[in-house]
Amino acid sequence: MNIQSIVRRAWQAGTVVPGFNIPYLPMMDPVVRALRDTRSFGLIMVARLEWTKFQSGSLAAVRTEYARVGDARHTRLHLDHVPVIDEDNQRVDYAPVFREALALGYTSVMLDGSRLPLEENISATRRVVEMAHAAGVAVEAELGAILGHEAGPLPPYEELFASGCGFTDPDEAAQFVRETGADWLSVAIGNIHGAISAAARGRQKIEARLNLDRLRQIRERAGVPLVLHGGTGIRKAHVQAAIRAGIAKINVATAIRQPYEQHMQESVERAQQAVYEATTAIVRNELEIAGNTELLLDE
């Protein structure tokens, strides 16, 4: 079954597909093992920043490792955040990245044009959709400002949430999906990314909340599976409510990266064990999706 069908089935069933970011290649094996052992389905993901600011190496290196440890019953390979304007406010030549990912066999890709004005975001996303759909590959896009990756400090979170500054607009979401043909839409509803700067990446993440009324409006207007980035640090009750309100994919990065980094100086094996334990806990306790492979993949 292709990934478009799997995520849509999750969306219709009121469950979720987790995506696990791999900033260090040895993290991939324990994530796959945890999904297999819990009979769960998830995405193995790499974002551009994870080969520019961490140690995932490259798209090809991730694909090679996935060929070694991946499990088609429990995983697919996803290209996460490729920005048009990156976290350092630099323009990115994004088209060659997508051409490489498609040639390597990634089954879904994500363009992040969220730092662009709406019409430019639509134009860039449509370009990637045309490339990817020609290869039978699903496209995730982003609308709204999900902060956290920038080098500077965040505005006070409560001010950010109360103002709704940068939140995804439901009417714009409808226009965006209609004019781009994107398969999934990443939304901003109070969620934030984990810090990636060297000075802050080890700190505890801010506890975010979610505007669930806004999320329900977006679901009604957009009509496609929705994605929650910055899944680490959001209270379980909010996450579960968001899944019921239309979130079909949730990204997890900080919650498995920090345990790996905390133990990587001891040994790779100890760091991998920490990732396995964290992934298993997320699947079983936070998302409550253990055993979802049967629901999502079996006819």
| Residue 198 CB-half CA count within 13 A | 4
Q: What is the pLDDT of residue 197?
A: 42
Q: How many other β-carbons are positioned within 10 Å of the β-carbon of residue 5?
A: 12
Per-residue confidence (pLDDT) for residue 158, from 0 to 100: 61
Q: What is the secondary structure of 120-166 as a DSSP string?
A: HHHHHHHHHHHHHHHTT-EEEEEES---SSSSSPPPPHHHHHHHTTT
Q: Where does the pLDDT of residue 200 fall: very low under 50, low under 70, confident under 90, or very high at 90 and above?
A: very low
* pLDDT at position 206: 59
Convert 267-298 to b/e letters by CB count within 10 Å (16 or more is b).
eeeebbebbbebbbebbeebbbbeebbeebee
pLDDT at position 196, please? Answer: 41
| Confidence label for 56 from pLDDT (cuts 50, 70 and 90) | very high
- The percentage of the chain sitting over the pLDDT mark of 70, rounded to a whole number, equals 87
pLDDT reported for residue 89: 86
80 is catalytic: yes
Task: Tell me which of 37, 71, 80, 298 is the catalytic residue.
Answer: 80
Q: What is the pLDDT of residue 283?
A: 97
Whole-number pLDDT of residue 144: 84
pLDDT band (50, 70, 90) for residue 222: very high
Q: What is the rounded distance in angstroms from the CA atom of residue 186 to the CA atom of residue 201?
A: 22
The confidence score (pLDDT) of residue 143 equals: 94
Question: Predicted confidence band at 174 (pLDDT cuts at 50, 70, 90)?
Answer: very high
How large is the average pLDDT for residues 194-208? 50
Strand, helix or coil for residue 92: coil
SS3 75: strand
Q: Which residues pair with 249 in a beta bridge?
A: 17, 227
Cβ 181 vs Cβ 133: under 8 Å: yes
Q: Is residue 275 predicted with pLDDT exceeding 50?
A: yes
> Which of left, alpha, beta for 89 (phi over 0: left; psi -120 to 50: alpha)?
left
Tell me what the mean pLDDT of segment 12-16 comes to: 95
* C-beta of residue 141 within 8 angstroms of C-beta of residue 108: no
Question: Which H or E run contains 187?
Answer: strand 184-187
Alpha-carbon torsion angle 169, 172, 173, 179, nearest 10: -170
Q: How far apart are the first and last CA of the chain?
A: 10
**Domain edges within the chain:** 3-297
Smallest CA-to-CA distance from 188 within 240, 233, 230 is with 230
3-297: CATH topology is TIM Barrel (3.20.20)
Q: 88 pLDDT band (50/70/90 cuts)?
A: confident
Give tens-digit pLDDT for 115-160: 999 999 999 999 999 999 999 999 999 998 766 454 556 666 666 6
Per-residue pLDDT at 87 = 80
Report pLDDT digits (tens) over 178-197: 999 999 999 988 876 544 44
| CA neighbor of 226 nearest in space, from 236, 234, 214 | 214
Model pLDDT for residues 234-249, shown as the tens digit of each residue: 889 989 999 999 999 9
270: pLDDT strictly greater than 90 = yes
List Cα–Cα distances, 196 to 54, 114, 150, 168, 289, in angstroms. 9, 18, 8, 23, 28
pLDDT of residue 35: 98
Q: Which residues of 172-191 are buried (b: 16+ CB within 10 A; e: fewer)?
A: bbbbbbeebbbbbbbbbbbb
**H/E element holding 258?**
helix 254-263
What's the average model confidence in pLDDT over 3-26? 96
Residue 201 and residue 53: Cα distance in Å, rounded? 11
Residue-wise pLDDT tens digits, 27-46: 999 999 999 999 999 999 99
Supply the mean pLDDT for the chain. Answer: 90
The yes-or-no verdict on residue 10 having pLDDT over 70 is: yes
The answer to whether the CB of 42 falls within 8 A of the CB of 74 is: yes
**pLDDT over threshold 90, residue 176:** yes
Are 170 and 221 within 8 A, CB to CB? yes
